[in-house]
Amino acid sequence: MSAINPQASELNDIIEAENASVTTMLSAKGKGIFFPAKGILGQTAAAKGKRINATIGIALEDDGTPMRMPAIEKLVSLPPAAVFPYAPSFGDAELRRVWLANIRGKNPSLGDTQLSTPVVTNALTHALSIAGYLFLDPGDTLILPDLYWGNYNLIFKNGYDAKLATHTTFVDGAYHVDGLRQALKAGGIGKKVVLLNFPNNPTGYTATEAEMDALRDVLVAAASAGNDLVVLIDDAYFGLVYEDGVGRESMFAKLADSHERLLAVKIDGATKEDYVWGLRVGFLTYAVRGGTAALYSALEAKTAGAVRGNISNASQLSQSLVKAALQSDTYAVEKEAKFEILQRRYTRIKEILAAHPEYSEAFVPAPFNSGYFLCLQLEADPERVRQILLKDFDTGTIAASGLLRIAFSATPFGLLEDLFANIFAATKAAQAE
């Protein structure tokens, strides 16, 4: 790797002075990245507000507004400045403040714990990739449960040459907390990177409050033993919890002020929470015990530098739309209405399974209580059942990790009974072959 830029060195010195463990957590790329505040961007910032500003690389109309084509402008009711210019690599400043308030509102146990200001990414996949850039070197190990989103392979294994070390997700119908404990012991004391995802994709499971407390205790014990822990918290489906006793707050809230050697990285966004999959607006937020404004500012600068070097910035239009929605007077009511649709489907599935004990001859559900999905453990090959469902029952499902994944988020309420009847019949057909 080439010599570190002086601006990166300045950020590294700040991080080292504020929390030396965080320096250890950074990858080589993470140590080398910086936001170029002293180059073109710095010169552009210095010219802001001047009568003549010939710095920024966009076109302006003669009246100083962003140049745009009427064919596009007429499709959007937002003002041109909220649509057409570049957004900052850090993200829209007001949206960042709104999302931070959103995090605190949804996680009241955070109290006044100091957090970084979220940096905007091109949704969660990009946020996960940026986290890999900042914290994973080739050959590093990422610890996670064995039932995980398949795209983690592309992001972390293919993208950053990391190794994925998995532990059993469930034992006796409960989250296998001890599996994480044992995985953290492998390889001795050192830097460890962990990924937690609740509600989990593919299973639709969120840890109970007791399991979340136990997970926190395991992670804090590992940090207390001298490990420097980065805990990536994939909160893609955050808030979609349908049962009492299940964790309502993010693991981020449990870990944000838990230990000086544990950096909690919240990866979230509007994608699933606010049903705007195509807008691609995500966020990266940091917390560590004793975290200071200087430490967080340095981490935000590195994150924004990685974003700039990767995609320059997330869509200004998408950020403006999300911000307007979050600030809308009807936002909370509209969001609750959509949540109730998903919860109604979840409840109906529970009723269907209870009403058909014969289904256990063909499948049993893995633990589920939240999110978009559930998984079925079949008494037949999941891939063969998937094919039969397509061919003979006009039904599409996903076969992965030895399970059949069902997206009830995409299944109308009135078709749920047919869905499970079809899966039962298809599994029976596969068993008979």
pLDDT at 91 over 70: yes
**% of residues, the chain, pLDDT over 70:** 100
Residue 49 has what pLDDT?
79
What one-character DSSP code corresponds to residue 226? T
Q: Phi and psi at residue 273, in whole multiples of 5°? A: -60, -40
Q: Phi and psi at residue 241, in whole multiples of 5°? A: -115, 130
The residues with which 246 forms a beta bridge, in sequence order, are 208
> Where does the pLDDT of residue 48 fall: very low under 50, low under 70, confident under 90, or very high at 90 and above?
confident
Q: Model confidence over 250-292: pLDDT tens digits?
A: 999 999 999 999 999 999 999 999 999 999 999 999 999 999 9
pLDDT at 337 over 90: yes
**Mean pLDDT highest for which of 46-50, 52-56, 342-346?**
342-346
Q: Model confidence over 296-322: pLDDT tens digits?
A: 999 999 999 999 999 999 999 999 999
The strand pair at 363-365 and 119-121 is best described as: unpaired
Q: Model confidence over 219-233: pLDDT tens digits?
A: 999 999 999 999 999
Contact 147, 401 (CB under 8 A): yes
Q: The tokens of 150 are what? A: 């398949």
Residue 1 has what pLDDT?
53
The mean per-residue pLDDT over the stretch 172-195 comes to 97
The mean per-residue pLDDT over the stretch 197-214 comes to 98
The mean per-residue pLDDT over the stretch 352-378 comes to 97
The mean per-residue pLDDT over the stretch 408-424 comes to 98
Q: Model confidence over 398-410: pLDDT tens digits?
A: 999 899 999 999 9
Q: Phi and psi at residue 253, in whole multiples of 5°? A: -65, -35
**Alpha-carbon span 404 to 379, nearest angstrom:** 11
Q: The tokens of 30 are what? A: 């993470």
Residue 401 has what pLDDT?
85
Set out the domains of the chain in order of their start, with CATH numbers.
6-35+89-326 (3.40.640.10), 331-432 (3.90.1150.10)
DSSP run (H or E) holding 417: helix 416-432
Q: Phi and psi at residue 121, in whole multiples of 5°? A: -125, 175
Q: Phi and psi at residue 333, in whole multiples of 5°? A: -65, -45
**Alpha-carbon span 119 to 112, nearest angstrom:** 20
Contact 115, 103 (CB under 8 A): yes
Residue 391 has what pLDDT?
98
Instruction: Report the range of poorest mean pLDDT among 59-63, 94-98, 129-133, 187-191.
Output: 59-63
Residue 57 has what pLDDT?
84
pLDDT at 51 over 90: no
DSSP run (H or E) holding 293: helix 293-310
398-400 sheet: strands from edge to edge: 363-365, 373-378, 403-407, 398-400
**Alpha-carbon span 193 to 308, nearest angstrom:** 24
Residue 377 has what pLDDT?
97
